[in-house]
Structure 1
Amino acid sequence: MSSKKESTARTLLVALTVSLVASVFVAGSAVALKPVQVENRLLDKQRSILAIAGLGDDLSSAQVKELFNSRIKAHVIDLKTGEYNTSLDPVTFDPLKASKDPKQSAALAGAEDLALIKRREQFTTVYMVEQDGKMESLILPIRGYGLWSTLHGFLAIKPDFNTVVGLGFYQHAETPGLGGEVDNPKWKSLWPGKTLFDDAGKPIVKIVKGGVDPASPDAGHQVDALAGATLTSNGVDRLLQFWLGEQGFGPYLAKLRQQGA
C-alpha cells in the first residue's frame, strides 16, 4: 500500500472512530438527561396551572411542587361521555401523545375541527383546585391554531362551570408584539369574570374586534380582540368554541352541572 493510500485510510479510520465515540456520548447524554427533561416539562405545566388558577406565578420549583400537590387534584375524563376514567393515571397519561395515536383519538374534518387540531384525543386530563376538600375552580386544557402555531393553554372556571377565573397559554409561536400579546398580562386580565355559556349551555363567549362596548348586554361574555392580530384572535375564539362545545368539554361540564359537581 502506498504511503498516500495508507494516510487516507488512517484519516478515515480516525474520523470513523471519533464519530462513533461522539455518537455514543450524545446518545448516552440524551438517555441520562431524559428524566430531567420529563421532570422539567411536568414542572412547567404545573407552574402554568397554578398561575392560571391565581395561586401564584413567581414560585420556586419546590413551592410549585408543594402547592400543586396540596391544592390540585387531577382526573382523566372521557371527552365523548364526560365520565371519569379511573384506569388511566392522570400523572403519567399524556393527552397530546394520545391525540396522535389513531387508536386513542378521532380524526376531525371540516366544520367539526373549529380549533384546527386535526385529531382529538378520546381521554384528557382536567385539574380541580381544592381547599379543605371543596372545589374552588376547574382547569381545562385547551389548544388550537392561531396564525403561525398551535396555542397550548388552560382555561380556569369557577364551580358554577360558567364563569372564567383565568385563561393563559404556556406554549405558542405567535408573532411577538402582535399575536404574542396573548401573553400580555393586560389582555389576560380581561378574562376573569366573563361568562362562557347561555342558559341552555351553549358557548357564547366571544372575542370581538374593535373593543367591547361596556354598555352592551353582551359585554359580560365578550373580550377585546388583540390589536393588529386578527388571525390569532380568531384562533383563540375558535378554540374556545371547540373545547366548550360537544367535541370538547361540553358533555363533561353538562354532567357536572347536573350533579352539582
Structure 2
Amino acid sequence: MSKNDGISKTLLVAFALCIVCSVVVSTAAVMLKPAQEANKTLDRKRNILAAAGMLDEERSIEEQFAQVKTRVVDLRSGEFTDAVDPASYEQIKAAKEPDRSTDLSKSEDIAGIGSREHYALVYLVEGSGGDIDKLILPVRGYGLWSTLYGFIALESDANTVAGLGFYEHGETPGLGGEVDNPRWKAQWPGKKVYRDGEVALSLAKGSVDPGSSDAPWRVDGLSGATLTSRGVTQLVHFWLGEQGYEPFLNNLKAGEA
C-alpha cells in the first residue's frame, strides 16, 4: 500500500468518525431538549416560590406552584392583557426585539437593561377568598460584572416586601455574590417599597440602624461590593417605579388592573 493510500484511508476514517459523532450529538440534543425545557420550567417555578418565601423542599414543586396564577401585564398601560400566551412568552427575549420592546433613554435606564419589553409575566398567589395574597414580579438590572436576574415578591398591599431572590448573575463570590446569602435575603421580608408615593427601598451604605426613621425602607449594603449594592437598589427603583410595575400596582390597588 502506498503512502498516499494510507493517508487517504486515515482521512476517510476520520471523516466517517466525525459524521457518526455529529449524528450522535445531534440526536442526543434533540432527544434531551424536552427534558431540558421541563427542568428549566421547574427551576423557574422553584425560584418564584423561593422569592416569595413559599418553597417547601419536602413537597413537589408542581404541587406548590398550583396555587400560583401566571398573568401577563402590559407595562405601557399597567393592565392585564391576553396579547401574548403566558405559557410560551419569553420575556427576556422580547426585550431584545425592537417590535416588542421600548428603548430606554439614559435617564430612564437606571437599571442598565437597555430596553424594556412591552409585556411582563406576573405571578399571583390567591387566598382562599380569591383575593391576591402575594405578587411575584420578575426583575433584572446590572451590577458590577453582570446582569442580575431575579424576582421580588410583595404582600397583598403591593408595598410590603415578602422576599427577594436572584437566580442568575455573575457577581464576585464573597462580595457581590452575597446577594445569594440567606442571611442577607432574610432582611427583605417586611421592608416597605414606597414612601410618600415614591420608591424609597434601597440598600444602605453599611448596616441599617434598626432605630432610624429610614429603617423600614433600608436593607444592609453588601460589604465590599458598592457597585453591586447600587445595582440592586437601581433595579428595585426601576422595576417598582413608573417605567416598571408601578402603574400596574396602582391599578391593582384601585381595582382597575
Q: Quickly name the TM-score band, shorter chain normalised.
A: over 0.9
Query: Secondary structure in 1 aligned to 2:85?
Result: coil
Q: Which residue of 2 aligns with 1:172?
A: 169
Q: Deviations over 1:141-186 (max 9, x none)?
A: 0011111111111100011110001011111111111111111111
Question: Could you tell me how far apart the structure 2 residues matched to 1:130 and 1:154 are?
Answer: 18
2:216 to 203, 208, 220: 220
Alignment of 1:83 with 2:79, yes or no, is yes
Shift of residue 53 of structure 1? 1.5
Percent of aligned positions that are identical: 51
Alignment of 1:237 with 2:233, yes or no, is yes
User: Which consecutive residues of structure 1, in runs of 5 or more, have no partner in the other structure?
Assistant: none
Shift of residue 199 of structure 1? 3.1
Question: Could you tell me how far apart the structure 1 residues matched to 2:47 and 2:30 are?
Answer: 27
TM-score (norm. length: structure 1): 0.94
Kindly provide the amino acid, as one letter, of the partner of residue 32 in structure 1.
M
Q: Deviations over 1:58-107 (max 9, x none)?
A: 245xx1011102x1001011111111111322122110111121111122
Q: Which residue of 2 aligns with 1:103?
A: 99
Q: Which residue of 1 aligns with 2:135?
A: 138
Shift of residue 131 of structure 1? 2.7
Task: Note the aligned Cα RMSD (angstroms).
Answer: 1.5
Q: Residues 217 and 87 (structure 1 numbering): CA distance in 2 closer, same or farther, change over 3 Å?
A: same
CA contact (8 A) 2:78 2:245 kept: yes
TM-score (norm. length: structure 2): 0.95
Shift of residue 210 of structure 1? 2.0
CA contact (8 A) 2:53 2:163 kept: yes
Query: Secondary structure in 1 aligned to 2:99?
Result: coil
1:198-209 equivalences in 2 (<5 Å): 198-200=195-197, 202-209=198-205
Q: Which residue of 2 aligns with 1:73?
A: 69
Q: Deviations over 1:111-155 (max 9, x none)?
A: 211111112111110001123223211010001111111111110
CA contact (8 A) 2:55 2:64 kept: no
User: Which consecutive residues of structure 2, in runs of 5 or more, have no partner in the other structure?
Assistant: none
Question: Could you tell me how far apart the structure 2 residues matched to 1:182 and 1:112 are?
Answer: 24
Shift of residue 260 of structure 1? 7.7
1:1-261 equivalences in 2 (<5 Å): 3-59=2-58, 63-69=60-66, 71-132=67-128, 133-200=130-197, 202-259=198-255
Query: Secondary structure in 1 aligned to 2:173?
Result: coil
CA contact (8 A) 2:153 2:163 kept: yes
Q: Deviations over 1:221-253 (max 9, x none)?
A: 011101111111111001001101111111111
Question: Could you tell me how far apart the structure 2 residues matched to 1:123 and 1:38 are?
Answer: 22
